[in-house]
Structure 1
Amino acid sequence: MKILEHIAQDIVEKTSEILQYPISITDKEGIIIGSTDKNRIGLFHQPSLEVIRKNRVVNCKNEIEKRILPGVSTPLKFNNKVIGVLGIVGDPKEVKKYVQLVKNQVEMMCQEAFRKEMVDLKEKMVEMFVHQLIHYRESMNEINEQILQSAKLLEFDLHTNRVCLLIDLDNFSEKISAKKGTDDFYESFPMQYFQKELLSFFQLIFQENNDDMISFLSLERLIVIKALPYPRSFSALVEGLPNKLEKINTFLAKKYGVTAGISAGNISSTLSGIAESYHNAVKAMSIGKQFNRDSGIHIYNEQEMLWRLLPKELTSEYKEKLVQFIAPLIKQDNYEILSSTFIGFCQYNMNLSEASRNLFIHRNTIIYRLEKISEITSLNTSSFEHCMLLYTAIQCYEESRMEPVH
């Protein structure tokens, strides 16, 4: 068994420190693969074959030019199969009482190493599978076959409704890098250690069955491909997100001094739909961070996304013309107040009462500011067409302000 070969020497060194007796471990062929005396590694140990054949404890005698040392040897088992032999060197009468205890410890360490290897292997498979899903195209026949094989191995039901969630960790890598420079604990662990810790935490929060896939997409972004097996699964998920985000941010703030945001794509029922849900979750996160920074949860809404993305789809020439409409407004010292009031007015369906109640501004104040905007821009804020022009112009201008200066 390869796992025993990988951990034999580590087991020997840790165990012999406590036991104070030399220890050796051989593989199924009788070759020493771990020993307190490293010079013995690679030697053939004849009594080990007898131990494996008889499948019981055997006392060893000092012979063959000291290649076989006195002591007790016992078979090591994994899933009821002999995978090697443990030997404790010393007077058999003295060391025999420790054999069962050490044997149990070694077998337990093998089980744990195997479990860890399986977890690591599954995480790598999930990561690869997630990337196949979110980049899926119906025309890619070779990828399709790979997805079907991966789905079968991971017991992933391809016919269940799903939604993609994204979790963004704000400045996570930056915070860890800073801590590595000032904290010896953080310095002693690679970035992957912290990622695994976070992955385990998010699995506790989101993973309810084997059909829920969770993986890192980058150092600061995770994806959850969440199964929606029941009619109310999505609404229940959305209702529970504030509570989940609160738990997440409490954990992140305490451990790393960072916060997170969550976005959700649309519900999908096909392979191509999962990829679409992922891309829509990306849009929701981007738009949410830009226009709704106070909320940490951003749910994809097609109508809202199209409206928000409209300025991005316009030509540069058209954007410039729109911004010219509001050039006098931009020059005002109170531009931020006037523009934010107008945007709020539009978001609440151009309803003065609704806008006043939700913006916590007196109705007369909103009326005054809208009249001021009309006076400055010559656009009538009572006209839907003019409001649409003004709204889009402000969005274009705000987008240009956010673009990096080259």
Structure 2
Amino acid sequence: MSVKMFRNLVQQVKQMINAECGIMDENGLILACTDENKTGHTVNNLQQVLESDKQLVRLNGKTYQKVNINNRYEYIVYLDSDSEESARYLALIALNVKNMGIYYDEKFDRSNFIRNIMLNNILPGDITLRAKELHVANNAYRVVFLIKTEGNKEAHPYEILLSLFPNRIKDFVIVIDEESLVLVKELKSKNDEKEIEKTANIIIDTLNTELMIKATVGVGTVVNNIREIGRSYKEAQTALLVGGIFENEKTIIYYNNLGIGRLIYQLPTTLCKLFLNEVFKNNSRDMLDGETFHTIQKFFENNLNVSETSRQLYVHRNTLVYRLDKIQKLTGLDLRKFDDALIFKVSMMVKKYLEKVEKKM
């Protein structure tokens, strides 16, 4: 339960009641008190209150009321007064505490439930039943955003995301680890691409401006059954992994737009090495310098257009032709031809993938 909520409550009580008011857990630890100096201290000799069959107990000039949540006494509210009026006030305060506890527990249980589905920690047969108990829609369009953060470890992106997506019934913010959070967002329709893009951009921009945190978002596909949330989560993971290799300049990566990178990512490394050896015989790729690779990149960006590429590189057209001839001589691939350009492009991506794999080993 959020202690901050309790402290806000007792501060409101302080404005209305001229008596000390406090909220304790079942062990007597004061979680919130109108006398802030007592917060965090433990009250001894509560045994008589805990063992009493009565919910309301008067003892040594104070009135205590136990708060029952889910058939268990979880909190004790007290007032430093034993008058009848105090008992009425205490009943209202205890009701507030109970409602807060139920609300918080429901919210936590929902988030935990969604987390268990994503991580495959719940039996498929139990999902529908548990969703009904927690009032979570079984059939709704949802998409998973996996957010990876880097930078300030003292920042709290979880709180920021909660404030951005306050609908606790339809949207769920879940902490995965120190650097990873998940947003499971409900959509109005399966093809609500504008809303997905808008949401991803809001996350990136807000974390950057509010917390000065660099973030990358992987987006899974839209699913329409709660059981499929785990699939969308795995897709978001794959989007970040594949995007980190082939599109590391992007901050938002969609599983649906991974293209050939997804195919390469699923290939065995032995097959990738065989392909590179076949394309670049005698390690001809290693003979290409940084300037040559920059030229190739620009040439691909301009759809193999010699004139436009030479203009952007600020070189004469004949200079670019000379460089392309040199590449052909070294590799046997004429990048002005579509088939050869495609082979070279794929080989560059395969090389990137192998370098990433070898770096992890």
The question of a shared fold, defined as TM-score above 0.5 by the shorter chain, is answered with yes
> Please, which of 226, 247, 255 is the counterpart of residue 300 of structure 1?
255
Give the gaps of 5 or more residues in structure 2: 1-5, 7-22, 69-74
Residue correspondence of structure 1 range 221-370 to structure 2 within 5 A? 221-230=180-189, 233-253=192-212, 258-271=213-226, 273-302=228-257, 304-310=258-264, 312-314=266-268, 316-317=270-271, 319-323=273-277, 325-326=279-280, 327-332=283-288, 334=289, 336-346=290-300, 349-352=303-306, 360-362=312-314, 364=317, 367-370=321-324
Structure 1 residue 246, shift from structure 2 partner: 1.1
What are the equivalent positions in structure 2 for 1:133-148 lying under 5 Å apart?
133=118, 135=120, 143-148=123-128
- State the 1:148 CA deviation: 0.6
The alpha carbon displacement at 1:6 in A equals 1.9
Identity of aligned residues (%): 19
CA drift at 1:259: 1.8
Structure showing greater radius of gyration is 1
Q: Indicate whether 1:170 and 2:131 are aligned.
A: no
Secondary structure in 2 aligned to 1:227?
A: strand
Residues 381 and 117 from structure 1, CA distance in 2 versus in 1: closer, same or farther, beyond 3 angstroms?
same
Q: Which one of the candidate residues 9, 20, 39 is aligned to 2:28?
A: 9
CA distance in structure 2 between the aligned counterparts of 1:267 and 1:117, rounded to whole angstroms: 31
What SS does the corresponding residue of 2:185 show, helix, strand or coil?
A: strand
1:372 and 2:326 are equivalent in the alignment: yes
Per the TM alignment, residue 213 of structure 1 is displaced from its structure 2 partner at its CA by 2.0
Q: Please tell me the residue identity of whatever aligns with 1:379.
A: L
**Residue 157 to residue 43, structure 1, CA distance change in 2 (3 Å):** closer
Corresponding position of 1:185: none
Q: Structure 1 residues 104, 160: CA separation in 2 closer, same or farther (over 3 Å shift)?
A: same
Q: Is the 8 A contact 1:311 1:395 kept in 2?
A: no
Give the conservation status (yes or no) of the 8 Å contact 2:67–2:77.
no
1:80-99 correspondence to structure 2 within 5 Å: 86=78, 88=80
The counterpart of 1:41, out of the listed 42, 46, 68, is 46
Distance (Å, rounded) in 2 between the aligned partners of 1:74 and 1:208: 37
Equivalent pairs counted in the alignment come to 327
Quote the offset at 1:324 in angstroms.
5.7
Q: For 1:133-212, what aligned pairs fall within 5 Å after superposition?
A: 133=118, 135=120, 143-170=123-150, 175-176=153-154, 197-208=156-167, 210-212=169-171
Deviation at 1:126, TM superposition (A): 1.8
Q: Which residue number corresponds to residue 111 of structure 2?
A: 126
Change (3 A) 1:286 1:370: farther
TM superposition score normalised by structure 2: 0.70
User: Deviation at 1:394?
Assistant: 1.9
- CA, structure 1 residues 337+323, in 2 after alignment: closer, same or farther (shift >3 Å)? farther
CA distance in 2, matches of 1:48, 1:312: 64
Deviations 1:173-213 (A, max 9, x none): xx45xxxxxxxxxxxxxxxxx7xx53232122234462222
1:390 CA drift (Å): 1.6
Q: Using a 3 Å threshold, how does the CA distance of structure 1 residues 286 and 44 change in structure 2: closer, same or farther?
A: closer
SS in 2 for 1:210: coil
- Please give the TM-score of this superposition, normalised by the length of structure 1: 0.64
Letter in 1 for 2:149: L
Question: What is the RMSD of the two structures over their aligned residues, measured on CA atoms?
Answer: 4.4
- Inter-partner Cα distance in structure 2 for 1:46 and 1:128: 34
